[in-house]
Amino acid sequence: MKTTRHLPVVFILLLATPAWAQFTFTTNNGAITITDYTGAGGNVVISNSINGHPVTALGVNAFNSKTLVTGVTLGTNVASLGDYAFYGCTKLTNVTMGSSVTNIGAWVFEDCTNLPSVTIPNNVVGLGDGVFDICYGLKTVTLGSRVARIGLNAFYFCTNLTSVTIPDSVTNIGDDAFYYCFSLTNVTMGSNVNSIGYQTFYDCFGLTKVTLGYGVTNIGASAFYYCTNLRQAYFQKNAPTVNGAAGSADSTVFAGESGTAYYLPKTTNWGATFGGWPTVLWNPQIQTTNKIFGVRTNRFGFNLTGTAGNPVVVEACTNLGGTWSTLFSGSVTNGFIYFSDAQWTNYPKRFYRVRSP
């Protein structure tokens, strides 16, 4: 008689580890703050919620020195990034923040040396002190339309940052904000900036010119100190004070370089010098009432008059809402210069304007 033997059946149940298990967190009034990351690194996605509760904040030091993290995508409920949240994440190359973010604390991305670009969402109202300090891999940054303050040391030692557009929402730029950003060649400043801090652009020797907005009323001492290639500064309003004193009384604003400060007609409080530089009235005008103006042999032209040495750019376009093209870049010599456009017959209409370089 044969005996049938039955082998035991073994069931193995594999339980997936929930995504939130790589975080420690606290819950307060139904909202979650992530306090630490304990995962293996790589690209990290922060969920919109944990256990049905919205993730609204990254706490202080939440990802501090997590050197294996290469990318972070924030959930759509995250509103606040605590101080030092990503400090020392040296392999971080990508951060995606949604429109829910309104607050970025101090030193949040300090020493994230491989972060190449950042877009600050439009609802962020301020950048904390040292937020991108020593991010020397940072090349581009886009600031949201509501940022009102750029904190001190915000971009300190961002040596590869080449261009910054400061939106009209910004009113204050802190001390040392762009200190030693020596690759910075272009700064476009919003019209509402009223204060530029102490040593804000110190050692930015990539700068060749700067235009200060209508709202600037005070500049910190040594604001453009040792920007050795800076040659032109254009002011669009009355002479600012330097640390609350008349600008002509402080020679440190442009110390370490030689150039000219240009100011517009009908602005006030300008002396012979500002911040150690000689001042010159910038007043080029197109002359439209003399015989030189208009169509001449094979060209359209006009005289430009102004203070001798005034640098000017003449641009043209076929549509006032379109793209302007540079036709001439030079300076007014002996009080005037003649400009002509031999290509005017190629267009049904042509608009011209004069601006500073």
Cα(114)–Cα(335) distance, integer angstroms: 51
Model pLDDT, residue 44 = 97
Q: Which string of DSSP letters, residue by residue, matches 163-192?
A: EEEE-TT--EE-TTTTTT-TT--EEEE-TT
Strands 49-50 and 23-28: unpaired
Report d(CA 128, CA 60) in Å as an integer: 13
- Assess if residue 305 is contained within a domain: yes
Structure tokens at 334: 């002996």
In tens, the pLDDT along 204-233 reads 999 999 999 889 999 999 999 999 999 999
Taking the alpha carbons of 236, 237, 239, 241 in that order, is the dihedral positive or negative? negative
Minimum mean pLDDT range among 4-18, 252-266, 305-319, 323-337: 4-18
Alpha carbon distance 228, 293 (integer Å): 40
Residue 248 pLDDT grade (very low, low, confident, very high; cuts 50, 70, 90): low
Of 258, 263, 211, nearest to 230 by C-alpha is 258
Which token pair is 314? Answer: 């003449």
Q: Is the pLDDT of residue 10 over 70?
A: no
DSSP-assigned states of every residue in 309-329? T-EEEEEEESSTTS--EEEEE
- Contact residues for 171 (Cβ-Cβ < 8 A; gap 6+): 148, 149, 192, 193, 194, 195, 215
- Rounded CA gap, 260 and 278, in Å? 5
Q: Angle at CA 81, nearest 5°, toward 79 and 83?
A: 150
State the chain's mean pLDDT as an integer. Answer: 91
Residue 249 domain flag = no
User: What gap in Å lies between CA 219 and CA 284, rounded to an integer?
Assistant: 26
Taking residue 5's Cβ as centre, other Cβ atoms within 10 Å add up to 5
Per-residue CA distances from 280 to 99, 212, 232, 266, 283 (Å): 45, 15, 11, 13, 9
116 against 243, higher pLDDT: 116
Please report, rounded to a whole number, the percentage of residues in the chain having pLDDT higher than 90: 78
Distance from the Cα of residue 63 to its chain's centroid: 25
d(C-alpha 237, C-alpha 211), whole Å: 11
> Does residue 147 contact residue 171 with C-beta atoms inside 8 Å?
no
Is there a domain that residue 311 lies in? Answer: yes
**Residue 297 sits in which domain range?**
285-355
Distance CA 220, CA 252 (A): 9
User: What mean pLDDT do residues 116-134 have?
Assistant: 96
- Residues 77-121: tens digit of each pLDDT: 999 999 999 999 999 999 999 999 999 999 999 999 999 999 999
Q: Which residues of 239-255 are buried (b: 16+ CB within 10 A; e: fewer)?
A: bbbbbeeebbebebbbb
Q: Is the pLDDT reported for residue 282 higher than 50? A: yes
Question: Is the torsion defined by CA of 244, 248, 252, 255 positive or negative?
Answer: positive
Other CB atoms within 10 Å distance of the CB of residue 7 = 5
State yes or no: pLDDT of 198 exceeds 60: yes
Residue 262 within any structural domain of the chain:
no
Percent of the residues in the chain that have a pLDDT greater than 70, as a whole number: 93
**Phi then psi for 249, rounded to 5 degrees?**
-85, -10
Cα torsion angle, 54, 60, 66, 71, sign? positive
**CATH number of the domain within which 335 lies:** 2.60.40
The pLDDT, as a whole number, for residue 2 is 53
Q: What is the CA radius of gyration of the chain?
A: 28
pLDDT > 90? residue 16: no
> Three-state DSSP class for 248?
helix
Domain-embedded: residue 342: yes
Distance CA 180, CA 196 (A): 16
Which amino acid, residue 229?
N
Count of the separate structural domains present in the chain? 1
Amino acid residing at 146: R
